[in-house]
Amino acid sequence: MNLLQGSLSDDMIDQLSQQVGGADKEQTAVAASGIVNTLMGALAKNTESTEGAKALDNALEQDHDGSILNDVVGMLSGQKAEAQNERMLNGSGILNHVLGNKQGGAIQMISKVSGLDSSKTGSLMTMLAPVVMGALGKTKREQGLDMTGIASLLSGTVAQERANSSNPAIDMAMQFLDSDGDGSAVDDIANMGMKMLGGLFGRK
């Protein structure tokens, strides 16, 4: 989480807001935080099964070595795209695997909390998915983690963030992921998240 939050620098938020059509930077920052936490929560849930943990480990091993973090701004602007593995940059493909049928609901929820238009939120999510996978891939290599180690890292990180109440966005994300996916809970969870994130980001 520290690695990911560190990647959300002012320069990166500026670049992200430009890439989605000149969005408000505060809204972009809130949405980016919500997206990162939702994806981390979804990955943690996916690795609760052996099959899910193995699929993630294989993806990190083959396509996500962490090099994307060396120049995230360059990647977002397309300057480095030709030198990168296509699957590394395939945000849509990553989201389909990670969120499945909950992708639309996640976009709605984060859009409501951040105030960012849902189409821009969706674009932002597609951009950030490879960054999240890159951070996991970097951690896997630096710490020598296997399939079990990655699953343990994810579940432990999410559990710690929730227990410490230090990250309201992760709690909101997990409540959404625990819902049945029919979209009926999105408004309630988003309203709860808006109140929690209001204090964190100074929103009213």
Q: What is the DSSP string of 124-179?
A: HHHHHHHHHHHHHHHHHHHHT--HHHHHHHHHHHHHHHHHTT--HHHHHHHHHHHS
Q: Environment class of residue 55 by beta-carbon count within 10 Å: exposed (0-12), middle (13-18) or buried (19+)?
A: middle
Report how far apart, in Å, the C-alpha atoms of 200 and of each of 3, 21, 49, 80, 185 are: 19, 25, 33, 34, 23
| pLDDT above 70 for 134 | yes
Q: Environment class of residue 144 by beta-carbon count within 10 Å: exposed (0-12), middle (13-18) or buried (19+)?
A: exposed
Q: Are 35 and 93 in contact (CB under 8 A)?
A: no
Residues 13-66 have pLDDT tens digits of 888 898 888 888 889 988 998 899 899 999 999 999 999 999 999 999 998 988
The mean per-residue pLDDT over the stretch 135-160 comes to 92
Residues 149-173 have pLDDT tens digits of 999 999 988 888 777 766 677 888 8
The mean per-residue pLDDT over the stretch 116-145 comes to 93
Q: Are 5 and 36 in contact (CB under 8 A)?
A: yes
Q: What's the pLDDT score for residue 82?
A: 47
Average pLDDT value over all residues in the chain = 82
Residues 68-96 have pLDDT tens digits of 888 776 777 665 544 456 778 789 999 99
Q: Are 72 and 32 in contact (CB under 8 A)?
A: no
Closest by CA position to 112, among listed 190, 34, 10, 48: 190
Q: What's the pLDDT score for residue 197?
A: 56
| pLDDT above 70 for 202 | no
Q: What's the pLDDT score for residue 180?
A: 62
